[in-house]
A = this chain, B = another copy of it.
Amino acid sequence: MRTTNRWLVAACAAVALSQSVRSDEGMWLYTNPPREQIRSRYGFELTSEWLDHLMKSSVRFNSGGSGSFVSEDGLVLSNHHVGADALQKLSSEKKNYLRDGFQARTPAEEVRCVDLELNVLQSIEDVTARVNAAVPAGASAEEAFKARRRVMAELEKASLEKTGLRSDVVTLYQGGVYHLYRFKKYTDVRLVFAPEQQVAFFGGDPDNFEYPRFNLDVCFFRVYEDGKPARVPHHLKWSKAGAAPGELTFVSGHPGRTSRLLTVAELEYLRDFQFPYTLEFLKRREVLLNSWSQRSAENGRRAKDELFGIQNSRKARDGGHAGLYDPAIMGAKVEAEKAFRARLEGQDELLAAKTAYQKISEAQSEIRQIALKARLLESGHGFSSDLFGIARSLLRGSEEFAKPNGERLREYAEAGRESFEMELFSDKPIHADLEILTLSDSLTFLAEKLGYGDSLVQRVLAGKSPRARATELLQGSRLVDVAERRRLYQGGAAAVGASKDPMIELARIVDGDAREVRRKLESLDEAKRQGHAAIAKARFALEGASSYPDATFTLRLSYGVVKGYEENGKSVPPFTVVSGLYERAASMEYRPPFDLPKRWVDKRRAIDGNVPFNFVATHDIIGGNSGSPVVNRAGEFVGIIFDGNIQSLVLDFAFEEKQARSLSVHSAGILESLRKVYGAGVLVDELIKGRRKG
């Protein structure tokens, strides 16, 4: 349940303030932790030291996931499926890290990842007043958006220059609050240990989001500085005993996106357009990649990571969509909104909030008119190809970097330039056959959705069939060569403007329309943001301040207890044990994805079948939390989040603790596997001692 679709993370940003909080609900800001709830419910005191230590031990994977430091020598633990992107990029037809796993016994054997960036949060600063002050009173939505973009870019640049830290202004409560997050950034990240994907993702798509589970979904990396393992000031102590039934535990990670505070009009938009559209897109792509993958083992290897991401998103969104069709959830949303709006009646000072609902609804209707075009052109659903993405980055880069920092598109702001270049010059493998496959299909999709007669479609296809056009583009482009990208990037507008590379020419054909639809969308989002700010203000006035904002792929704290649940009248226990892995494999006749790595078959007698393997808890989590550490009251590592059960998929819209559960790998199961199956004594020592030997 990695956050694969970063666009959505940004696009779903339209949220008001939370309902009152009860139970184990909440993805809490570190600046507003649920101290009172935890004290009253569990009698435990969250101290500032405890929080600071956990915050600085938590790691964000920019590819879309979470992790934590587990030794002072920069050892990072995350999920195998979070690391899969990095493993895929390291792999070739000859050496398949994703399938076969990897183990470095010394730092010299650790393998540097192609373009992985890790962030560690250092501080949070409230900049709401400064952001709002920059927007002139009475500004149009478009002007307001530009002013806000400008001040955010300035704040980020000033912070970067002052502190040397990656600095991001984050919009919370959808315009209610703005925070400046500063991260220490690691770009030299090396692979230390990965199990085989068969056991990391045992059961594959069929068992994804299901429980009971038996997954060793872990992957170890190490951050380096100046070519040496980094000494990190904070890391989590390893608990050999691990999580216990009924125990209070905490999750520190980066939930990607929730939609709990949307207005009913926005939820209807999700239900009626966004989810159906996205699911159509995902299912189409899944069939395409699945069918192609099965033609040969090498095809399968090339598409594997993307295919997993697609299936994962599809399953998550199918579950979320079902939630929006559930009268129990949607009905409650309608009632809550009605009740709140009733409270606004007669309160003249809250007039802005009263009218905000209508404003948001109108903006949403306008968004509906352009949303499809935005997906196709700006999100690139009509041009699914890595090379197209590179061509667009070069084209836009040549225009945007020439502008003052505050006037650029958000992703070209100066503060993010280093990360931008890292991605642009990544020499991750690009496979022409796979590119032709996805590009032809997405060109067909574009023509279907905009209409074959559409003038842009005609210019894009240039008189050829989608397949012939995709083939011509791929065979003609030189952008697969990183040196050529550098040449164009360094040559700026002159070089890019003179380029006759067909992929750059395609990006040029599309860019006017793409920018135009984005401009409209950003104005409409700003209009919604203003509406949400008014609602947020009213909610603070009526209900007080203590709540949490919707998830934004920034660090949050959740809590909950290790606990089973009832399903179809049966009780589902909180733990699985190692022997269950072998039993499930046998019951599925060892057919992929229920086959076991040879090593696991061979070590069956060696490993203790009774050791806890996976467990469930009531944590409030969502995609992006994958890889988050689960810690006990002592702040020790007791497990690692890797999934949620199928009932947790409605957490996008509302918290639920009767059946919704987080899924984790147990710290004891990890140790037992490393020791008995992989003979990874050096790694186990480092985990137990919290530092490398020697």
Q: Are A465 and B327 in contact (CB under 8 A)?
A: yes
Q: Which of B276, B283, B327 contacts A287 (CB 8 A)?
A: B283
Q: Are A466 and B325 in contact (CB under 8 A)?
A: yes
Assembly CA distance A469 to B549 (angstroms): 34
Chain B residues with CB under 8 Å of A593's CB are: 294
**Mask for A204-246, Cβ within 8 A of B = 1, else 0?**
1111001000000000000000000000000000000000000
Q: Which of B206, B279, B448 contacts A294 (CB 8 A)?
A: B206
Q: Which of B276, B448, B466, B468 contacts A276 (CB 8 A)?
A: B448
Q: Are B465 and A322 in contact (CB under 8 A)?
A: yes
Assuming A283-B287, A444-B321, is B206 touching A295 (CB within 8 A)?
Answer: yes
Q: Is A335 an interface residue (CB 8 A)?
A: no
Q: Is A512 an interface residue (CB 8 A)?
A: no
Q: Is A451 an interface residue (CB 8 A)?
A: yes
Interface residues of A in 337-383 (CB under 8 A from B): none
Interface of A is mostly: helix
The closest CB in chain B to the CB of A299 belongs to B206
Nearest chain B CB to A576 CB, angstrom units: 17
Assembly CA distance A272 to B445 (angstroms): 11
Q: Which of B206, B210, B325, B464 contacts A444 (CB 8 A)?
A: B325
The closest CB in chain B to the CB of A328 belongs to B465
The closest CB in chain B to the CB of A593 belongs to B294
Q: Is A563 an interface residue (CB 8 A)?
A: no
Q: Are B205 and A465 in contact (CB under 8 A)?
A: no
The closest CB in chain B to the CB of A589 belongs to B297
Chain B residues with CB under 8 Å of A283's CB are: 283-284, 286-287
Q: Are A588 and B444 in contact (CB under 8 A)?
A: no
Nearest chain B CB to A368 CB, angstrom units: 12
Q: Are B322 and A206 in contact (CB under 8 A)?
A: no
Assembly CA distance A591 to B210 (angstroms): 25
Q: Is A315 an interface residue (CB 8 A)?
A: yes
**Mask for A463-481, Cβ within 8 A of B = 1, else 0?**
1111110000000000000
Nearest chain B CB to A208 CB, angstrom units: 9
Q: Is A452 an interface residue (CB 8 A)?
A: yes
Q: Is A554 an interface residue (CB 8 A)?
A: no
Q: Is A592 an interface residue (CB 8 A)?
A: yes
The closest CB in chain B to the CB of A277 belongs to B448
Nearest chain B CB to A591 CB, angstrom units: 6
Q: Are B271 and A452 in contact (CB under 8 A)?
A: yes
The closest CB in chain B to the CB of A204 belongs to B294
Q: Are B291 and A290 in contact (CB under 8 A)?
A: no
Q: Are B296 and A315 in contact (CB under 8 A)?
A: no
Q: Are A327 and B272 in contact (CB under 8 A)?
A: no
Nearest chain B CB to A279 CB, angstrom units: 8
Q: Is A314 an interface residue (CB 8 A)?
A: yes
Interface residues of A in 423-458 (CB under 8 A from B): 444, 447-448, 451-452
Q: Is A36 an interface residue (CB 8 A)?
A: no
Assembly CA distance A447 to B322 (angstroms): 12
Q: Which of B465, B588, B592 contacts A592 (CB 8 A)?
A: B592
Among A290, A328, A592, A593, the most chain B Cβ lie within 10 Å of the Cβ of A290
Q: Is A484 an interface residue (CB 8 A)?
A: no
**Mask for A298-327, Cβ within 8 A of B = 1, else 0?**
000000000000010011000001100111
Among A276, A287, A465, the most chain B Cβ lie within 10 Å of the Cβ of A287
Assembly CA distance A656 to B271 (angstroms): 45
> How many chain A residues have a CB neighbour from B under 8 Å?
46
Nearest chain B CB to A358 CB, angstrom units: 19
Assembly CA distance A210 to B448 (angstroms): 26
Assembly CA distance A304 to B451 (angstroms): 35
Nearest chain B CB to A298 CB, angstrom units: 11
Interface residues of A in 567-596 (CB under 8 A from B): 588-589, 591-593
Assuming A272-B452, A297-B588, A452-B271, is B325 touching A291 (CB within 8 A)?
Answer: no
Assembly CA distance A391 to B465 (angstroms): 44
Among A210, A325, A451, A589, the most chain B Cβ lie within 10 Å of the Cβ of A325
Chain B residues with CB under 8 Å of A297's CB are: 588-589, 591
**Mask for A259-296, Cβ within 8 A of B = 1, else 0?**
00000000010011000100110011011001100111
Q: Are B327 and A463 in contact (CB under 8 A)?
A: yes
Chain B residues with CB under 8 Å of A210's CB are: 295
Q: Are A205 and B294 in contact (CB under 8 A)?
A: yes
Assembly CA distance A119 to B452 (angstroms): 42
Chain B residues with CB under 8 Å of A328's CB are: 465
Q: Are B294 and A284 in contact (CB under 8 A)?
A: no
Chain B residues with CB under 8 Å of A204's CB are: 294
Assembly CA distance A494 to B592 (angstroms): 53
Chain B residues with CB under 8 Å of A322's CB are: 444, 465-467
The closest CB in chain B to the CB of A287 belongs to B283
Chain B residues with CB under 8 Å of A296's CB are: 588
Nearest chain B CB to A432 CB, angstrom units: 14
Assuming A327-B464, A444-B321, is B272 touching A451 (CB within 8 A)?
Answer: yes
Nearest chain B CB to A205 CB, angstrom units: 6
Assembly CA distance A287 to B322 (angstroms): 16
The closest CB in chain B to the CB of A280 belongs to B280
Assuming A280-B284, A287-B287, A294-B204, is B588 touching A591 (CB within 8 A)?
Answer: no
Assembly CA distance A467 to B286 (angstroms): 23
Assembly CA distance A463 to B326 (angstroms): 9
Assembly CA distance A271 to B205 (angstroms): 33
Chain B residues with CB under 8 Å of A280's CB are: 280, 284
The closest CB in chain B to the CB of A282 belongs to B287
25 A-B residue pairings within 8 Å (CB atoms) = A204-B294, A206-B291, A206-B294, A210-B295, A268-B452, A271-B452, A272-B448, A272-B451, A272-B452, A283-B284, A283-B286, A287-B287, A290-B290, A294-B593, A297-B588, A297-B591, A321-B444, A322-B465, A322-B466, A322-B467, A325-B444, A325-B447, A325-B466, A591-B592, A592-B592
In the A-B complex, the 10 residue pairs with the smallest Cβ-Cβ separation, listed nearest first, are A206-B294, A326-B465, A276-B448, A283-B287, A206-B295, A325-B465, A283-B283, A283-B284, A286-B287, A325-B466
Chain A contacts to B: CB under 8 angstroms = 204-207, 210, 268, 271-272, 276, 279-280, 283-284, 286-287, 290-291, 294-297, 311, 314-315, 321-322, 325-328, 444, 447-448, 451-452, 463-468, 588-589, 591-593
